[in-house]
Amino acid sequence: QVRLLESGGGSVQAGGSLRLSCAVSAGTERNNRMGWFRQALGKEREGVASIYGRGGGTAVYVDSVKGRFTISRDIAENKVYLQMDSLKPEDTAVYYCAAGFKAGGNVLDVRRYVYWGLGTQVTVSS
């Protein structure tokens, strides 16, 4: 069983930054694709960023966060991070870490991931 634990959420003003962390319990996910998703109140969960291997050119982002968010991972520590800069009120949501990617589809599709953390709240005020 893979367990994921997110941390780093909080409340910031617009323009501020936060860094989310996701600790992964199982070594089997160490080099597999992982993702960050978010769900705003009353909206569907959406993909934010995904990373495979050590990242670099394999990172994928939803258009709304490109240039502001950066996904990365520490293979040795089995952790995945989401650095969020220039935050906007519309970034307010619960952010989830996901693993257990099933190949063959959009890497930002919630249906492609099997394991999920409990989420961490991010609130951005104007």
Higher pLDDT: 28 or 91? It is: 91
Q: Compute how many other C-beta atoms are within 10 angstroms of the C-beta atom of residue 100.
A: 17
Which residues pair with residue 72 across a beta bridge? 81
CA distance 118 to 95: 9
CA distance 54 to 80: 10
Q: Which residues of 78-99 are buried (b: 16+ CB within 10 A; e: fewer)?
A: bbbbbebeebeeebbbbbbbbb
Residue-wise pLDDT tens digits, 67-112:
999 999 998 888 999 999 999 999 999 999 999 999 888 999 999 9
Indicate if the pLDDT at residue 54 is higher than 70. no
Q: Which of 69, 91, 76, 70 is nearest to 13 (CA)?
A: 91
Indicate if the pLDDT at residue 56 is higher than 90. no
